[in-house]
Structure 1
Amino acid sequence: NVSRYMADELADDWDRQCLCVVLKDFYNLQVAEIVKHKLSSSSFYYVLAKCTYEEYIEFI
């Protein structure tokens, strides 16, 4: 498990905890499986469905 390895490699406990939280929230199956998966409680931040480069740029 890459995320576990990355967390174990950090010497600082605070950095390790922060990385684990970020990975749990943003690196999971829901990001890939749920259309417009929310990245926060706001509906403004979500993962785009597969689209073209131009569509990504327009979204940004």
Structure 2
Amino acid sequence: MTTATVSRWYRFRESFFWYSFKRDKVAIVSFAVLLLMVLAAVFAPLLAPADPY
């Protein structure tokens, strides 16, 4: 079972999608902005604990 997981991870790392994604600056910046927005939404109750009503 571990061999299949390693094989899948290796195939993903060596895939054309991952190769082209790593070299596209716009895609990396867009992913970083998306990740920042998701983290802000997840941690929003900690960032602004006031009740809006």
Q: TM-score range by the shorter chain?
A: 0.3 to 0.5
Kindly name which structure, 1 or 2, has the bigger radius of gyration based on alpha carbons.
2
Higher share of residues assigned helix:
2
Q: TM-score, normalised by structure 1?
A: 0.31
Which has the bigger relative contact order, CA under 8 A and spacing at least 6? 1
Q: TM-score, normalised by structure 2?
A: 0.33
